[in-house]
Amino acid sequence: MNRIGIILVFSISFLLALLALPATGLAQQPTVGAAVNAASFLNANLPNGKLAQGGMFVLFGTGMGPATLENSNPYPFPTQVAGTSVRVTVGGASVDCLIVYSSAGQVAAILPSSAPVGSGTLTVTYNGQTSAPFSVQVAASNFGTFSINQGGSGPGVILDANTNQPNTLVSAANPGQLMDIWGTGLGPVAGDEAAGPLPGNQGNLNVLVTVGSVQAEIVYQGRSGCCAGIDQIRFRVPSGQIGCYVPVSLSVQGVASNFTTMSIAESGSTCSDPFSFTAQDLQVLQGSGQFRSAVTGLTRVRSFNPAIGETRADTAHASFIRYNLQQIISNSGAYPSIGSCTVVQITNNPAVGFAGLNAGTISLSGAAGSHNLQLNSPGLHTLSFIPPFGGIQVPGIPGTVTDGTVLNPGNYTFTGTGGSDVGAFNVSMNFPALFEWTNRGSINNVNRSQPLTITWTGGLAGYQIIITGTSPLSIETVGGAYFICVANATAGTFTVPASILSAIPPSAPGFGGAPTGSLTVGHVRFGDRFNVSGVDLAITSYLDFIGGAVAYQ
């Protein structure tokens, strides 16, 4: 296990370092742009974005080290690598950090357990040039879980405790199985961290592991036996939490970690999920190394603003995409498992790219008339229906219907002529009556320390309710977090836990004091399958969303 752990941790660090742009030219003063947990990568301004005593962190900036990545040679970890050193000062007391690797744009280090807690500064020195002080917050504990995509989201680095097999869609865990979460920032330890691993159960810490909506039994919580600064939490998979993207989060001393996911099957090694794949789909993926999908759907969006009332926009869409095995394994999935919630950091990182398939011309017919969808990019077709707003018609643009037509309830048919990759098809779907979010008018301000109950009517059997809340850190720049919860549509009510709300930040103030956060409730259905040659999975989707502005406090 120790050797696998070392390969895991340092391969993650190395791959992250390769993303840094090399510095060129004469020596320059280093600049620090961000300091984040090496596993979660959460923005320092988020509620769970502090650095932790004894935890590994990553710096992003310029001129902080050599153009070519330089690793330290553990053990012992040095306080300087290739001319790079890092110092943290809190309350007048300073500590020198243990350097894991150094490069011009990215440095990884371990914050000593002896670092003081509180508000302070961090400086980087490279070849005698020292950066301006960069503000940091140090906490005793602030755990982050490593993820397969090396960005702190999506499937987590969660291993079978007996075989060290990583948990993935095609190596799912079963209820009762012991699994290990790998991360950093659990809390300080005693001893010489530079000399190597200091394993031991940190049972004094209040640690909770939540899998889906259930608290899991913890068997071990402490430093790993493989690496300095790296933690290992062993837990037993609870029953009743089945799916391909079951949310997993930790809280240490009441502070939530980043949210990752894991795959859980009632039995066997492949998961099944109403929002993604069946076990049979994944067997196809394993056999061929790729997966081709077709999704045709209708979406209704109703937005509410107290100043102008309700507006509406409807969309018909069709996508034809090819994925490879690694893209699917590292992908975060669109929604968590039913009955659970997850929290995702808002970033401007580009989405993982997939290859589009040629399906020819796609058209829609039904109560809204007959129209061709617009090909926006390879494999992605859309058609927007925008009713007049305040008597003003939106100028006609390709792929937009602006004559007041909307997608009223009824039957609609998608027709594809077929292309070089996908065969011809004809599939019909029902667009049901509007559902209603019944307590929308009473939710304007959301207290993040209290549970939030959502109620609705019109939910149908076989459908789900998706609840999404977004809270930005600023209206000028990208940043913040959003949560997603999934419930059975026939339940009529769902309560978002305070532990989920507390993991998103308070909303930034908007112009004139207007709220900048949003809360959306959707009535959705995925997975009505149809047959078309050239793809492995073809489904219809239906989405009906109601949203509005709120303030998260």
Question: Which of 32-36, 215-219, 366-370 has the least mean pLDDT?
Answer: 366-370
Indicate the helix (H) or strand (E) that contains 436. strand 436-437
pLDDT at 190: 93
Q: Kindly indicate the confidence band of residue 342, based on its pLDDT and cuts at 50, 70 and 90.
A: very high
> What mean pLDDT do residues 403-426 have?
93
What's the average model confidence in pLDDT over 412-438?
95
Q: Quick: pLDDT tens for 185-207.
A: 999 999 999 998 999 999 899 99
Distance in angstroms (rounded) separating the CA atoms of residues 516 and 530: 40
3-state secondary structure of 287: helix
Q: Which tokens hold the place of 381?
A: 């077709």
Cα angle 182-186-189, degrees, rounded to a multiple of 5: 115
pLDDT per residue as tens digits for the range 276-308:
777 788 877 777 778 899 999 999 999 876 666
Q: What is the mean pLDDT of residues 506-527?
A: 88
Range from 56-65, 185-194, 239-248, 276-285 carrying the lowest mean pLDDT: 276-285
Question: Taking the model in full, what pTM does it have?
Answer: 0.87
**Distant-in-sequence, close-in-space partners of 25: CB < 8 Å, separation ≥ 6:** none
Measured distance CA(515)–CA(409) in Å, rounded: 32
Q: How far is CA 423 from CA 211, 254, 297, 322, 413, in A?
A: 41, 53, 18, 15, 16
Per-residue pLDDT band for 354 (boundaries 50, 70, 90) equals confident
Inform me whether the pLDDT recorded for 229 exceeds 90.
yes
2 pLDDT band, cuts 50/70/90, is very low
Local confidence band at 453 (pLDDT 50, 70, 90 cut-offs)? very high
Is residue 350 packed enough to be buried (19+ CB in 10 Å), middle (13-18) or exposed (0-12)?
exposed
| H or E segment to which residue 474 belongs | none
For residue 54, give Cα distances in angstroms to 159, 165, 232.
23, 27, 14
The owner of tokens 């159960």 is: 201
Model confidence at 5, pLDDT cuts 50, 70, 90, reads: very low
Percent of the chain with pLDDT over 70: 91
Domains of the chain by start residue, with CATH:
2-139 (2.60.40.10), 144-264 (2.60.40.10), 279-552 (no CATH)
Indicate the range of 7-16, 47-56, 241-250, 328-337 predicted with least confidence: 7-16
* 349 band by pLDDT with thresholds 50, 70 and 90: low
Q: Are strands 493-496 and 200-201 parallel, antiparallel or unpaired?
A: unpaired
Residue 518: φ, ψ to 5°? -140, 155
pLDDT at position 22, please?
39
Task: Count the helix, strand and coil residues of the chain and give each as a percent rounded to the nearest 5.
Answer: 10, 45, 45
Closest-CA residue to 58 (of 74, 79, 40, 73): 40
Residues whose CB is less than 8 angstroms from the CB of residue 12 and which lie 6 or more positions away in sequence, other chains included: 146, 150, 157
β-strands 129-130, 134-139: how paired?
Answer: unpaired
Q: If you average pLDDT over residues 221-246, what whole number do you get?
A: 94
Residue 511: helix, strand or coil by DSSP? helix
In whole angstroms, what separates CA 342 from the centre of its chain?
A: 8
Cα separation, 269 vs 248, whole angstroms: 19
> Which DSSP helix (H) or strand (E) runs through 217?
strand 217-223
Is the pLDDT reported for residue 266 higher than 60? yes
540: which 2 tokens? 């219809």
- Higher-pLDDT residue of 190, 476: 190
Q: What is the pLDDT of residue 394?
A: 57
Number of Cα atoms under 13 Å in the Cβ half of residue 94: 9
Confidence of residue 332 (pLDDT cuts 50, 70, 90): low
Strand pairing class (290-305; 537-552): parallel
For residue 442, the model assigns a pLDDT of 92
Instruction: Return the SS3 of 245.
Output: strand
pLDDT mean across residues, the chain = 89
For residue 457, pLDDT beyond 50: yes
Cα-only R_g, the chain: 25
**Coil vs helix vs strand at 281:** helix
430-439: pLDDT as tens digits = 999 989 999 9
Side chain identity at residue 522, one-letter code: G
Contact 258, 152 (CB under 8 A): yes
Grade residue 1 by pLDDT with cuts at 50, 70 and 90.
Answer: very low
